[in-house]
Structure 1
């Protein structure tokens, strides 16, 4: 691939442009938000100059509801030899592309599963897709050369390509991404009218579960609208499970011993299935490697504290494999977990304690990745 055009310079589009530019591809940038486009250009992601001839690949980094209309327009203008997108829903764009009269032969749907942090180009980085799944949904009429070009894009960005059927993809993301966002939103919405004293009691669990509810409402409305049926099916299943959980909790207070036993067994089964499901999530690309050990440290909310901690770990000759930070706003301290090799963990924990770092009242945590 020699040339590409990225339309849409948010987090994903700019990260793709940075990755391609780093690999020697000449990238042309475009965005209705001229400030975002100029920012991406200033970051070295490419140029705002229009290409003088059709580029090898055009990447449409726009929401699912905009893919079809944009694809139709740029195909008619002869922008590229091949086209792909990054939308998190594939069924709606496919149907609208056919209805709009766009050419499905030169298009292969794409969805890099790497969105994180802010949607701004300032959050972009060229290694965002390294080791991450990148789903491709070619249709029966997609040209093989176009699929190869999009596979080249994934390789240049160091992603892991996965070929999926469109419907299967949309059902999968409804279960793993879209419905969880709605569940987090529902939980966060319950906090709107409660007293401040109750919110101050928020623990790590509530902050983790509701974190994604901070997403842009307009963006998420578009995504949920595009995948409405699949998300509704998942929520129906959640509702059935929730009904069973409510019944089990009510049953625990029953005067009937047999009913209490059934309720306890049902609740135990739900909790165990939750453990099993969470263990599967821990194996996705980007999760901390198996067998690492977490050294937890209480982190004071002071400038430079994190840098001093990393310096102390470096002086100990220990390699940090992964880091997790849990810090609530307006709190004087937070918790940081440093994932290191199992053999190095006990010595590092003792060293940090000697040097005055506060450790939780728990032993070193072993992260089971089996």
Structure 2
């Protein structure tokens, strides 16, 4: 694998940058490049998406005589390999570096490995997105602070790797270097299998009686949120990463059988050990800004469902001089009041509780 930064000097991303595929990710990359003052060329088989992205200021349609410095392929997973191969071989792009932003890296690489210009290809993958799709959901700030994997292969040109690094910087992402194989195992563990498990949990709700669903709280919303993603898109992603996903699903299957056995046996200590493993997993997730996890605690605050109440709560939290690390809102079904969960450093939760209670808020820990 090429060593990042091993070229003869720092590569400069001067443009033009061509974006092939003007959905959520492609249009967001184009907007970020325009934010940096780069010329952006747009290509898409969907004329409506191309027109919308252009009207949003993401760039202009590419003309045959245009010669981009960098091409970013942002098409659905089923088409990635074929489009990357076509872009590598088309006239006008002979010297261009090509990257893609697909969520699986080994498949596209296999599709282009034998291409004579495969050394100009460097895979990448920003860990950012939304349940929404299409250019109207795009934002120039979508990647700000988000991890962005760069996955060079063994024959990638060092200058090509550096140019993709510059793209990540322009888009505000945080660079992470992985081999294509490491990347696919990583996203199977952190994204693809969790998505499947969320879908299974959500699927049980679709069959539930209505009076059961009235007991739904924030916990079930948290567990099932990602299951609302586009099934057709995620079907492509999971199929493309089948080998890595299957390996982890086999482990989950074995663990699920162990859970069934433990619950059936009534072995409370064994059940606690299963739950403790889950706690350990949550603590392994990197903390804010990628640092080590910090002990956190939650304080729930009753908030009347009226205009301005959230703003008042936030102002009172600021006056308490406690930094809010995260928050969630759960609405009471039977009352016009919501429960706002404020997540703060564990050593500050008692102070926040006292401060908010003194300002008239009803709280509980």
Give, in whole Å, the separation in 1 of the partners of 2:264 and 2:127: 40
1:2 is the counterpart of 2:14: yes
The number of equivalent residue pairs is 349
Give yes or no for the alignment of 1:97 onto 2:100: no
TM-score (norm 2): 0.84
Change beyond 3 A, Cα 1:353–1:40? farther
Q: Look up the SS of the partner of 1:190 in the other structure.
A: helix
Note the C-alpha offset of 1:311. 4.4
Q: Corresponding residue for 1:325?
A: 328
Matched, 1:24 2:67: no
Partner residue of 1:160 out of 158, 165, 174? 174
**Contact 1:14–1:121 under 8 Å retained in 2:** yes
Confirm or deny: 8 A CA contact 1:137 1:165 kept in the other structure: yes
Return the alpha-carbon distance in structure 2 between the equivalents of residues 39 and 318 of structure 1: 44
For 1:72 and 1:116, how far apart are their aligned partners in 2?
28
Q: Specify which of 139, 146, 162 is matched with residue 160 of structure 2.
A: 146
Question: What SS class does the counterpart of residue 156 from structure 2 fall into?
Answer: coil
Q: Alignment partner of 1:119: what SS?
A: coil
Q: 1:49 offset after TM fit, Å?
A: 4.9
TM-aligned CA deviation for residue 231 of structure 1 = 0.9
More relative contact order, 1 or 2 (CA 8 Å, 6+ apart): 2
| 1:98-137 paired onto structure 2 within 5 Å | 98=113, 101=115, 103-137=117-151
Asked if 1:189 corresponds to 2:220, the answer is no
Work out which of the residue numbers 60, 66, 70 in structure 2 matches 1:47.
60
Post-superposition offset of 1:126: 2.5
Give the TM-score normalised by the residue count of structure 1. 0.83
Question: Does structure 2 conserve the Cα–Cα contact (< 8 Å) formed by 1:132 and 1:286?
Answer: no
2:181 aligned with 1:178? no
Structure 2 unaligned blocks of 5 or more = 1-12
What is the Cα deviation at residue 86 of structure 1? 0.6
Closer/same/farther in 2, CA of residues 291 and 128 from structure 1, 3 Å limit: farther
- State the Cα RMSD in Å: 2.9
Question: Hey, what does 1:259 align to over in structure 2?
Answer: none
Alignment partner, residue 279 of structure 2: 275
8 Å contact from structure 1 (residues 6, 13) kept in 2: yes
1:57 paired to 2:78: no
Q: Are residues 1:239 and 2:253 paired? A: yes
CA distance in 2, matches of 1:338, 1:288: 20
